[in-house]
Amino acid sequence: MTVEKLREIDPARPLTPFTLHRADGRSVRVLSPGFMAFRPGGRLAHVFYEGDRSSFFDLLLVTSVERSNSTGPRRRRRAG
């Protein structure tokens, strides 16, 4: 994943939350693109959460992006 691709996620509706799925199976929920910043080199992202929490992650580990319609917690359905 590149910074350019992340910036193209939803420019028309910048408040749409989305989830970034990583290669290690974990995911990062982003409430809106305004809650994410990038290092000048473009490989490291910094995501801010409610409650003064934040985390860093490598964009090369992002395997997919899932957009959602609400800002509340979501459950992922398991296949089976």
| pTM of the complete model | 0.65
Q: What is the pLDDT of residue 13?
A: 55
Task: For residue 36, count other CB atoms closer than 10 A to its CB.
Answer: 20
pLDDT tier for residue 80 given thresholds of 50, 70 and 90: very low
Confidence of residue 22 (pLDDT cuts 50, 70, 90): very high
Q: Where are the domains of the chain?
A: 3-67
CATH 3.40.50.300 fits 3-67, yes or no: no
* CA dist 20 → 62, 76, 80 (Å): 6, 13, 23
More confident residue, 33 or 29: 29
What mean pLDDT do residues 19-38 have?
88
